[in-house]
Amino acid sequence: MNPTVAVLGPGAVGGWLAVRLSLAGIRTICIATREAAGIIALAGLVVESRDGISSARTEVAEHLQLPVGVLLVTVKAPMVKEAIERIDPAAVSEGVVVPLLNGLEHMEPLRARFGDRVAAGSISHFQAYRVGRVQIVEAKPSPLITMASGSVPRGELESAAELLRRAALDVRVAQSEKRILWHKLARIAPLAAATAASGRTVGELRDDPDWRPRLERAIGEACAVAEADGVGLRAAAQWEIIDELADETTAAAARDVAAGRRSELDGIVGAVLRAAGRLDVPCPTLAELAAAAGLR
């Protein structure tokens, strides 16, 4: 496999991955808008973590034409269609495209552009946020990256995973694309809607006698939609994960809503509600939270 990794969208997650990969000696190319590419080329990327400060000067470009082994797509859902226009499909014709986005619907435009080179991907047990144009704070370390594909041969997925593991990343290859997408979405959609609607942290929602049952009902509804889509999930297992989150945790979409930025609420919560409509699964609590968060 080509040992080069491209990162489309070097924001909090993508920038963190780019630094980690670059410091492991893996050729890493960040693909960004003209303005962001210029800043990264000038200043590099900086990650602040509990272990100190790490920085790297990765290669950076506005467009990707050079062949790569892995393309990590880490832009936010609303930007996917525009961002992938900066990637020449020939650059990944023998590589693997791994989107690390929350939601379901991003798979369609990715497959329309890159065909059978796309795998479903997810990154969990991790939180990072940007505090500047090139500065990233790692709030929760040790992410788990999971990928699966019905079109990319298993051996090629394993090679892609092994390339990423050279940066000491925990990367696992699974069997089901749908399960990868739904496993995180079933909890992140209710959490995004609830934290955006309430302005509260996960810890505050868990401890509130009114908000906790609302969140529980919303998670149950999301799991029911997943079940109807062929993915069996236990709401209790989703709650075990939520109970392990730090009290101060909020969803990235909620932070964007609070800051007046374009958010992923529609790509996350809207995707679940649209799937619910398609599969005829009632989601009254999730729909109520979505409306309260400003999603129409």
- Residue from 14, 6, 12, 20 nearest 165 by CA: 20
Cite the residue boundaries of each domain of the chain with CATH code 3.40.50.720.
Answer: 4-175
246 pLDDT band, cuts 50/70/90, is confident
Q: What's the predicted TM-score (pTM) here?
A: 0.95
Residue 50 has a pLDDT of 87
**Mean pLDDT value of segment 187-203:** 95
CA angle at residue 69 from 129 to 178, to 5 degrees? Answer: 65
Convert 58-105 into a string of H (helix), E (strand) and C (coil): CEEECCECCCCCEEEECCCHHHHHHHHHHECHHHHCCCEEEECCCCCC
- Residue from 248, 135, 134, 267 nearest 193 by CA: 267
DSSP letter for 25, please.
Answer: T
**Mean pLDDT value of segment 168-182:** 96
Q: What is the pLDDT of residues 106-165, one digit of tens each?
A: 999 999 999 999 999 999 988 888 888 889 998 877 899 999 999 999 999 999 999 999
Q: What is the pLDDT of residues 254-264, one digit of tens each?
A: 888 888 888 89
4-175 is classed in which CATH architecture? 3-Layer(aba) Sandwich (3.40)
Residue 251 has a pLDDT of 87
293 pLDDT band, cuts 50/70/90, is very high
70 pLDDT band, cuts 50/70/90, is very high
Fold category of 179-292 in CATH: N-(1-d-carboxylethyl)-l-norvaline Dehydrogenase; domain 2 (1.10.1040)
Q: What is the pLDDT of residues 213-239, one digit of tens each?
A: 999 999 999 999 999 999 999 999 999
Cα-based distances in Å from 176 to 97, 146, 149: 16, 10, 7
197 pLDDT band, cuts 50/70/90, is very high
Residue 131 has a pLDDT of 83
Position 12 pLDDT exceeds 80: yes
**Mean pLDDT value of segment 68-89:** 96
Cite the residue boundaries of each domain of the chain with CATH code 1.10.1040.10.
Answer: 179-292
Q: How many CB atoms lie within 10 A of CB 51?
A: 9
- Tokens 């939609």 belong to residue: 225
